[in-house]
Protein backbone atom coordinates (compact mmCIF):
# COMPACT_ATOMS: atom_id res chain seq x y z
CA UNK A 1 0.00 0.00 0.00
CA UNK A 2 1.24 3.43 -0.80
CA UNK A 3 1.52 6.30 1.60
CA UNK A 4 -1.09 8.03 -0.56
CA UNK A 5 -3.59 5.29 0.27
CA UNK A 6 -2.69 5.49 3.97
CA UNK A 7 -3.23 9.25 3.88
CA UNK A 8 -6.61 8.73 2.21
CA UNK A 9 -7.75 6.27 4.87
CA UNK A 10 -6.47 8.63 7.54
CA UNK A 11 -8.62 11.43 6.14
CA UNK A 12 -11.63 9.10 5.96
CA UNK A 13 -11.08 8.13 9.61
CA UNK A 14 -10.83 11.76 10.75
CA UNK A 15 -14.03 12.71 8.89
CA UNK A 16 -15.90 9.71 10.32
CA UNK A 17 -14.87 10.63 13.85
CA UNK A 18 -15.44 14.38 13.42
CA UNK A 19 -19.00 13.98 12.17
CA UNK A 20 -20.02 11.12 14.46
CA UNK A 21 -21.54 13.59 16.93
CA UNK A 22 -23.94 15.98 15.20
CA UNK A 23 -23.03 19.14 17.13
CA UNK A 24 -24.98 21.22 14.64
CA UNK A 25 -28.21 19.38 15.57
CA UNK A 26 -28.03 19.85 19.34
CA UNK A 27 -30.59 22.65 19.53
CA UNK A 28 -32.81 21.26 16.77
CA UNK A 29 -36.11 19.84 18.00
CA UNK A 30 -37.24 18.67 14.56
CA UNK A 31 -38.92 15.29 14.34
CA UNK A 32 -39.07 12.85 11.42
CA UNK A 33 -41.24 9.73 11.59
CA UNK A 34 -41.66 10.23 15.34
CA UNK A 35 -37.95 10.42 16.14
CA UNK A 36 -35.63 13.41 16.55
CA UNK A 37 -33.50 14.29 13.53
CA UNK A 38 -30.31 13.62 15.49
CA UNK A 39 -31.36 9.96 15.91
CA UNK A 40 -31.73 9.67 12.13
CA UNK A 41 -28.30 11.29 11.78
CA UNK A 42 -26.80 8.51 13.92
CA UNK A 43 -28.60 5.79 11.97
CA UNK A 44 -27.36 7.22 8.68
CA UNK A 45 -23.88 7.74 10.05
CA UNK A 46 -23.70 4.10 11.15
CA UNK A 47 -24.53 3.09 7.57
CA UNK A 48 -21.79 5.38 6.20
CA UNK A 49 -19.29 4.06 8.76
CA UNK A 50 -20.19 0.46 7.94
CA UNK A 51 -19.66 1.08 4.22
CA UNK A 52 -16.30 2.76 4.87
CA UNK A 53 -15.14 -0.10 7.09
CA UNK A 54 -16.27 -2.69 4.53
CA UNK A 55 -14.29 -0.92 1.81
CA UNK A 56 -11.26 -0.68 4.08
CA UNK A 57 -11.49 -4.35 5.07
CA UNK A 58 -11.72 -5.47 1.43
CA UNK A 59 -8.97 -3.23 0.16
CA UNK A 60 -6.27 -2.39 2.72
CA UNK A 61 -6.84 -4.37 5.91
CA UNK A 62 -3.87 -6.69 5.39
CA UNK A 63 -1.37 -3.88 5.04
CA UNK A 64 -2.41 -2.10 8.20
CA UNK A 65 -2.70 -5.36 10.15
CA UNK A 66 0.74 -6.51 9.00
CA UNK A 67 -0.56 -9.41 6.94
CA UNK A 68 1.26 -9.97 3.65
CA UNK A 69 -0.87 -10.47 0.56
Report the number of secondary-structure helices (H) and strands (E) in the chain.
3, 2
Work out the pLDDT band at 67, boundaries 50, 70, 90: low
Q: What's the confidence (pLDDT) of residue 1? A: 55
Q: In whole angstroms, how far apart are CA 20 and each of 27, 44, 58?
A: 16, 10, 23
**What phi, psi does 35 have (nearest 5°)?**
-125, 150
Q: What's the confidence (pLDDT) of residue 26? A: 81
Q: What's the confidence (pLDDT) of residue 29? A: 82
Residue 35, H or E segment: strand 35-36
| pLDDT 10s digits, 13-22 | 999 999 998 8
| pLDDT 10s digits, 6-56 | 888 889 999 999 999 888 888 878 888 988 888 899 999 999 999 999 998
Please report how the helices 3-18 and 37-59 are oriented relative to each other, as an axis angle in degrees rounded to 10.
160
Amino acid sequence: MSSRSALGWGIVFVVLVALAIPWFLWNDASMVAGLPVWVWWHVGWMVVTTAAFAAFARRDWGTFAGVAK
